[in-house]
Chains A and B, each alone.
Chain A
Amino acid sequence: MNKPNVDLSNHSNTGAINTDVLYLMHIHDSAFPIGSYTQSFGMETYIQSDQIRTKQDLLNYCHAYLFENLVYTDGIFVKEAYQLVEKDDWKQLIRLERICDASKNAVETREASRMMGKQFLQAILPVFEDEKLQTWKKYLDEGKIRGHFPIAYSIYTAQMKYDLYTTILTFLYSSTVSLVHNAVRAVPLGQKAGIEVIHQLIPKIAKAAEHVLDKSLQDLSNHAVGIEVASMQHRYLPSRLFIS
């Protein structure tokens, strides 16, 4: 299995490497303001129709979300964007972002991804003065791009020199875990159930990240149609806890 570059057990590594881990933890802190706690990406529709009621339901749902949605959609965008940032290929990166936007059929999911990306840029830029991220923000302000989160995230991680596997792994982790946190509040489930689900998901997240490494833009697929239809139906729910 590919191992992240950062090796926490090796104390002879300088402090710089360990602070790298802290920076990564910081942007994935649930208090980091990208608004993932307001997005359910269609899950709330299933919660309200009582199709996600138990810990096991949630685990099954997150498992499918991870392997049949994220691996075939945002995971691929994260990977492709990371490689384009490394190649400094802005033209293709902008094209990739257009495809990312056009591939998200459900308007709520499309807007959620844009919103999270914009909020990520707004939060990170004042403290991380990076030229590429600033260029990306300029493109956003000029209307050349829509700001989708997977792309913005990869620009940041590539510039921070996290390796590709770590980038994909942490993206999948935060996307899945924020769903669990949201489900704990919305179903509702106990904190203990949430922790158990996350612990069971962690090895699966690592497996999913390996799947993403084998994929490219040609593998893009919206076959998690249930999630997409749930996301389309979400805006018609009589009461909602989440934006999407």
Chain B
Amino acid sequence: MQALAKSSSLLKSDGKLELKFEKRRGKTRLIDCYQQPPLKASRGLYIDGTDHCTLYLMESSGGLVAGDHNEFTVHLKPGSNVTLMPQSATKVYPAFNDQPSSQQVTINLDEDARLEWNREEVIPFEDARFNSATSVQMTSSSSLLWAEILYPGREKRGETFAFRECHTHFEVWIDDDCLVYDALRLNPAEQMLKQLGVLEQFNYIANVWIVSPSMDENMDHNLGEILIQTDKHKSGITKLEGKGMLVRWISNDLPLLKKEVDRISTFIRKHYWK
């Protein structure tokens, strides 16, 4: 029994990625990067020819297997401007040994720093157990755009809500004040997910969280005009205390969902983050 426990702990992977950015000589630079497999980061890319730095986040193992844990720690020093793009969706394999896989993202944004995380996608396979916690500590002058899509499983194989549990927790603190504290705990076997008011006939959940000092009164109205409502796809927009905005979707139309998440992100970049 002991040997088994030992071997299972050896098999577990513990990915780590610690990134620190700073604005130096007019450009945001990656000044510190610690990577422990299977997590890895690309070089800093300057796609739009500005100070803005883009990085791809890579996961070389192909997904989380029972008990794996990935940890991301990101620190943006004052005035830095970064986009982080996970290269692929996080795939969570069945928890054969009962161990949940987990992911922890810890983000620190200093004054006037701006981070876009676009986008986090999670696919929990049949029998998967997944726990994720994302915590953002920022100041009233820093900005965040966080986009995410939660899949019901490998839908094309007819696998919807066949996972055992999928728990996500997302919180945002502006100095000492908690602005967002959003938890989703999906336990399909115990819950009436298909009922009116819960997830209904929809399989995908998506969010775009925007927290920024450059919000205005009409922002929800402007974003609302981008969104299409159909029988297979619906969304809502809400303001977060004048400091942020949430767009939340439930949908069965993945291509449209991805398109709208991109449209919202582009709109924010173009009109609010000039």
Q: Which residues of A contact B (CB under 8 A)?
A: 42, 46, 51-52, 57, 60-61, 63-65, 67-69, 72, 98-99, 101-103, 105-107, 219-233, 236
In the bound assembly, the distance between CA atoms of A103 and B172 in angstroms comes to 11
* 30 A–B pairs (Cβ distance < 8 Å), ordered by A: A46-B197, A51-B196, A52-B196, A61-B196, A64-B192, A64-B195, A67-B192, A68-B191, A68-B193, A68-B197, A98-B178, A102-B171, A102-B181, A105-B182, A105-B248, A106-B236, A107-B238, A219-B185, A220-B183, A221-B183, A222-B182, A222-B184, A223-B184, A227-B198, A228-B236, A229-B234, A229-B248, A229-B249, A230-B236, A232-B237
In the bound assembly, the distance between CA atoms of A42 and B197 in angstroms comes to 9
**A220 cross-chain contacts in B, Cβ below 8 A:** 181, 183, 185
Find out whether the CB atom of A225 lies under 8 angstroms from the CB atom of B177.
Answer: no
Find out whether the CB atom of A223 lies under 8 angstroms from the CB atom of B191.
Answer: yes
Judged by a CB distance under 8 angstroms, whether B159 is at the interface is: no
Find out whether the CB atom of A226 lies under 8 angstroms from the CB atom of B196.
Answer: yes
In the bound assembly, the distance between CA atoms of A232 and B193 in angstroms comes to 19
**B200 cross-chain contacts in A, Cβ below 8 A:** 226
Find out whether the CB atom of B195 lies under 8 angstroms from the CB atom of A106.
Answer: no
Q: Do A225 and B182 contact each other (CB < 8 Å), given the known contacts A46-B197, A68-B197?
A: no
Find out whether the CB atom of A72 lies under 8 angstroms from the CB atom of B197.
Answer: no
Contact with A along B225-238 (1 / 0, CB 8 A): 00000000011111
In the bound assembly, the distance between CA atoms of A65 and B237 in angstroms comes to 21
Find out whether the CB atom of A68 lies under 8 angstroms from the CB atom of B248.
Answer: no
Q: Do A229 and B235 contact each other (CB < 8 Å), given the known contacts A67-B192, A103-B182, A222-B183?
A: yes
- Total interface residues on B, using CB and 8 Å? 34
Judged by a CB distance under 8 angstroms, whether B180 is at the interface is: yes
Give min CB distance, B131 to chain A, whole Å.
Answer: 11
Find out whether the CB atom of A223 lies under 8 angstroms from the CB atom of B193.
Answer: yes
Give min CB distance, B187 to chain A, whole Å.
Answer: 9
In the bound assembly, the distance between CA atoms of A240 and B96 in angstroms comes to 50
Q: From A51, which residue of chain B is reached at the shortest CB distance?
A: B196
| Apart from the given pairs A105-B180, A221-B186, 14 other A-B contacts in the complex at a CB distance below 8 Å | A46-B196, A68-B191, A103-B182, A105-B238, A107-B240, A220-B183, A221-B183, A223-B186, A224-B197, A225-B184, A226-B202, A227-B198, A229-B234, A231-B236
Judged by a CB distance under 8 angstroms, whether B224 is at the interface is: yes
Q: Do A226 and B237 contact each other (CB < 8 Å), given the known contacts A68-B191, A99-B178?
A: no
**A221 cross-chain contacts in B, Cβ below 8 A:** 183-186
Give min CB distance, A44 to chain B, whole Å.
Answer: 13
Q: From B177, which residue of chain A is reached at the shortest CB distance?
A: A98
Judged by a CB distance under 8 angstroms, whether B250 is at the interface is: yes
Report which residue of A68, A106, A226 has the largest number of chain B beta carbons within 10 angstroms of its beta carbon. Answer: A226
In the bound assembly, the distance between CA atoms of A60 and B235 in angstroms comes to 22
**A63 cross-chain contacts in B, Cβ below 8 A:** 192, 195
Contact with A along B179-223 (1 / 0, CB 8 A): 111111110000111011111101001000000000000000000
Judged by a CB distance under 8 angstroms, whether B246 is at the interface is: yes
**A231 cross-chain contacts in B, Cβ below 8 A:** 236
Q: Do A72 and B238 contact each other (CB < 8 Å), given the known contacts A60-B196, A67-B192?
A: no
In the bound assembly, the distance between CA atoms of A155 and B168 in angstroms comes to 30
In the bound assembly, the distance between CA atoms of A64 and B194 in angstroms comes to 10
**B184 cross-chain contacts in A, Cβ below 8 A:** 221-223, 225
Q: From B234, which residue of chain A is reached at the shortest CB distance?
A: A229
Report which residue of B177, B186, B195, B200 has the largest number of chain A beta carbons within 10 angstroms of its beta carbon. Answer: B195
**A228 cross-chain contacts in B, Cβ below 8 A:** 236, 248
